[in-house]
A and B are shown apart, each in its own frame.
Chain A
């Protein structure tokens, strides 16, 4: 069981390997990636920022909750910050469990809670050179004053 905020590319295969054990019949790897269009606009990249200490604490809480709800300690989640390009992994969640049902449920729980609670923000960069903060529903919220 582990969670981390990272600044370097996420090694997704290493995360899957980290949770894989002989007692587990199911290993799931969820990878969230930067996509090239959001809300109808062409995106060239995203800058992720966070209230880092609180984000680390919330992620640790979420993983602990998932362990209790779904009875597995084999959960690892990493979220990356900084400048990410199209296709880069921003978040990865590896879950392993003796049974696939609980593995899917635990993986879903972690990503949904992360998106609701973990204080991380994204500033989208567009083809026309502009940048905007994105809210939880994927919509643009404000023009940054810089």
Chain B
């Protein structure tokens, strides 16, 4: 579904992405793991077209994304730090996005808006929201249009246990519908029962891209957290 070929991006001297080539297929739930500053978010932003790569290209459903914008209809993005117009209320924001993005006859998926209880605080201004509530808004917006591909950048960071459980349940549901889901997270334990593939990035390069069963076999560890720790240690020594 998404193919990235030799994507390179520099920010000044820093090589945020260094010759990244990846293939992400339909129905997978892929964990994007790596230390801070390893280029995970930059890679997601490249696919979204928010960051323009210096070289290399990305295709979505066999179409190059560089001159295309229609493909974003199929994407849902939950940013790591959601930044929204400060003087809008939650209700206005959601209505605006619906107004801009919805095309005729499309059903919106308000499940998260309701289960997070956002519809009760629709008149709160964005600037008055806590970090966690902001995350809830981001998550609701990402799932709102039933996208085929979901990018979740640190989805559960800042969410309370109840909300985080709701979100994980939702992710599981969407996975069952055969959607491609890309998650970055540092809390590996919660990815265990979600992901089917793991991409490990370091210093802007993809170190490996494996199925989770393969990873378990290679390292002999059942838990993802331990498996990754195993690999990181063996890399260092």
- A and B: interacting chains: no
**Which residue numbers of A lie inside 8 Å of B, CB to CB?**
none
**Which residue numbers of B lie inside 8 Å of A, CB to CB?**
none
